[in-house]
Amino acid sequence: MARLKDLPLAHRLFMQAYRYRTVDWSPGAQLARPISGSKLALITSAGLHLPTQPPFDKSIRGGDFSCRELPSDIDIQSLLIAHRSSAFERAGALEDRNLVFPLERLRELVDRGEVGSLNHRHFSFMGSISAPSRLIAEKAPAVAADLRLDNVEAVLLVPV
């Protein structure tokens, strides 16, 4: 893990000046049954999108709070990366998308019976959203509602 002093000056200054929010996650969600019998969805903040979808808009001040729906049967190596942060090292993700969107690993867990099933769709956001108000107020609740409609019981969040 990188230490603050190891980061480039611009990133250190940003992190020292940023007004972080606190969120009370309690009481939190609890699974009604073991993960081996649950339907799971995947959410990443790696800025992934299908070649047929528009990339995330890197010019939006404060960050693009939209999301991209990714089908469960996608070849993950076909996904493109449109993350805006200069702090996001893409080399590993370009070689193996499972580092930021471990769909193939989850398929293996389903095959072994360790995860019940995967949802038919998953979601990608762009990380590095420095003004998250609209994400928190609009997009995140809409995605949560979609997942409830899909009867998803657990979500694996892969923050980047």
Q: Cβ of 4: how many Cβ atoms within 10 Å?
A: 9
Q: Where are the alpha helices (DSSP H) in the chain?
A: 9-17, 91-95, 103-111, 133-134, 140-149
Q: Which residues pair with 123 in a beta bridge?
A: 43, 69
Residue 71 has a pLDDT of 98
Residue 30 has a pLDDT of 82
The full length of the chain comes to 160
DSSP string, 114-140: SS-EE-SEEEEEBS--S--HHIIIIIH
Mean pLDDT by 10 residues, the chain (160 residues): 79 80 74 94 95 93 92 95 75 87 98 98 90 89 96 94
Q: Give residue limits of the domains in the chain.
A: 7-15+35-158
Residue 1 has a pLDDT of 63
pTM of the entire structure?
0.87
